[in-house]
Structure 1
Amino acid sequence: MTTVTSADGTEIAYDSAGIGPALVLVDGAMCYRAAGPMRPLAALLTSAFTVLTYDRRGRGESGDTQPYAAEREVEDLQAVMRAAGGRAALYAMSSGGALALATAAADPGVTGLVLYEPPFLGGDKEYTARLGELLAAGRRGDAVELFMTTVGVPAPVIAGMRGGPGWSTLEAIAPTLAYDDTLLGDGRVPGELPVSVPMLVVSGTASPAAMQQAAQATAAAFPTAEHRSLAGQTHDVQPDALAPIMIDFLLG
């Protein structure tokens, strides 16, 4: 593990492995290097890229300087890119797609984008308000449960998780749920962003229709973007299904 210092002094932890052009993997909500989909995916990409995985602020081994602003997360990602030489492609999962798009709009060092099911679903003001209330009251476990319920995790599964040993880890990063909500804004595709690098937006044919439609709408909003469907994949996409199309798109 290595750290890089972001513009506001926050230490951001990252790992780097592989050979080739730089590729930074950007997690979605509730994930970080040690808990989420990026390490298995990185293992399949290191033969083609120098792959950087990092802990977004407030997660894992990264710091969390307050107050939060979406611009600070963009600066964090830019700092990781600088550690890779200043130029990198970005792969982003779910709500990490909003961060990747904002960074591509702000930094000419972004060479390409691959987004998997960015959840531009129109926003949910009730969720935003309730999440803020729970976090302000220190009810982190309830905030995690609210998020999981909102994304469709069945109640019995959540109840089982709350009694498990990993729940405290989820509670520790619960405040970052508000960060992702902030990045997603009003929930609309940010088609006004000046993003002109090659972009691939991917969705799974077994994902909910709304997620597939959001991916298609994201691709349609940017002139350099294309959409691709992965047969049989859900929002929990399998690395061996995703890695080959990433390599083909970014290096082809």
Structure 2
Amino acid sequence: MTAHAPRQAHVTSTDGTKIAVTITGQGRPLVVSPGALNAAQDWQVLADLLAPRFATYAIDRRGRGASGDNGEHTIQREADDIAAVLGLAGPDAILLGHSYGVLVTLAHALHQPPAAFILYEPPIPLGGPVGGDAIAPFEEAVQAGDLDRALTLGLRNFLRFPEEAIEEFRQTPFWAIRASMTPTWAREMRAMDRFGDDLARFAALGIPTLLVIGELSPRWLTDVSRRLHQALPDARLVEIPGEAHDAFLTGPHALADAIAAFAGGLPCLLKPLREQG
């Protein structure tokens, strides 16, 4: 195994759930909390690009990949999972959240702020419930085993993708993978709707923060990021040209450059950085 090759690890969360982590590379730790329809494997290309400078800890959030699950789901339980992984990665870790995964990282940070934040398009329900009445037909599709229809409904009603974007996505190899992850999406949508729209609670998070948005992302998602940018005291915002909500898959080099540029200006808590393993 080379120094940068991915390796598997597990941590145990507060409620006893085993959480799987894929660790790639060496250098400053970067802990990744994926979105609702993603797992650690979706971040591997980006982790490989970052491997010479970062040790990426990509999490399989509970209920997916190699992680366990618990019947009672809350954002706080997932925040406890983040805390367990950060305990493995060390105090110098940068915490990156994508989409729903940002809500988990924000919930964690309210109790224990990380060294630095990278937040990629959090779906904070500033305009009212994101799931709302659309959750019921989505769940019906999942219970009927029609995961293709469930994904279509979720993209249309939860993320508000235009129909042409959904059809383009349907032609990609990622469609079947995303469809297979839809069974846990409804519970996350409920948690998202309960998250609330109060951005003032994050004003005390004075940690260095990078907000990432895609030029082609749904407008409501980029608007949320812009408003969160105004609420956070030490935040900067970068827009990735020609990319949308999944630049770690479709434009990993551009996202890697943005991460490296941000991290390059951060202080280190540990000098020198201990080797992560």
Listed as ranges, the matches of 1:106-185 within 5 Å are: 106-108=111-113, 110-125=114-129, 127-132=131-136, 134-135=138-139, 138-139=143-144, 141=147, 142-150=149-157, 151=159, 152=161, 154=163, 167=176, 170-183=179-192, 185=194
Q: How does 1:83-98 map to 2 (within 5 A)?
A: 83-98=88-103
Segment of structure 1 superposing worse, 64-73 or 125-134? 125-134
CA distance in 1, matches of 2:19, 2:241: 35
Alpha-carbon shift at residue 173 of structure 1 (Å) = 4.6
Change beyond 3 A, Cα 1:143–1:131: farther
Provide the C-alpha distance between the structure 1 equivalents of 2:216 and 2:181, rounded to a whole number of angstroms: 31
SS in 1 for 2:96: strand
Q: 2:79, 2:104 within 8 Å by CA — same for their partners in 1? A: yes
Alignment partner for residue 44 of structure 2, among 29, 39, 46? 39
CA distance in 1, matches of 2:214, 2:165: 25
- Which residue is 1:10 aligned to? 17
Distance 2:90 2:174 in 1: 39
Report the TM-score when normalising by structure 2: 0.78
Structure 1 residues 166, 119: closer, same or farther in 2, change over 3 A?
closer
Say whether 1:66 aligns with 2:75.
Answer: no
Contact persistence 1:198–1:224 (CA under 8 A): yes
Of the structure 1 ranges 174-183 and 75-84, higher mean CA displacement relative to structure 2 is found in 174-183
Following superposition, the deviation at residue 72 of structure 1 comes to 0.4
Cα offset for 1:10?
0.4
Asked whether the equivalents of residues 58 and 64 of structure 1 are also in contact (C-alpha less than 8 Å), the reply is yes
Question: What's the CA shift string for 1:31-86, capped at 9, x where partnerless?
Answer: 1023x3x1111111111111101100111111111211111000001111111134
Residue 32 of structure 2 aligns with an amino acid whose one-letter code is: L
Distance in structure 1 (CA, Å) of the matches to 2:119 and 2:196: 16
Q: Where in structure 2 are the equivalents of 1:45-56 lying within 5 Å?
A: 45-56=50-61
| 1:163-184 Cα distance to aligned partner (Å, 9 max, x none) | x997487345522442254146
Identity of counterpart residues, as a percentage?
28
Aligned residue in 2 for 1:23: 30
Change (3 A) 1:12 1:189: same
Among 212, 220, 223, the residue aligned to 1:202: 212
Letter in 2 for 1:46: A
Flag the 1:208–1:66 CA change in 2: closer, same or farther, 3 A. Answer: closer
RMSD of aligned residue pairs (Cα, Å): 2.9
- State the 1:145 CA deviation: 3.0
SS of aligned partner of 2:71: coil
Structure 1 stretch displaced more, 67-76 or 182-191: 182-191
Structure 1 195/149 Cα, relative in aligned 2: closer, same or farther at 3 Å?
Answer: same
Instruction: State the aligned residue count.
Output: 248
Tell me, in whole angstroms, the C-alpha distance in 2 between the residues paired with 1:98 and 1:135.
Answer: 22
**Letter of the 1:39 counterpart:** Q
Unaligned runs of 5+ in 2: 1-7, 266-277
- Which residue number in structure 1 is paired with residue 275 of structure 2? none
Q: Structure 1 unaligned segments of length 5 or more: list them.
A: none
Q: Secondary structure at the match of 1:234?
A: coil
Alpha-carbon distance in 2 for matches of 1:159, 1:113 = 31
> Which residue in the other structure is 2:229 paired with?
219
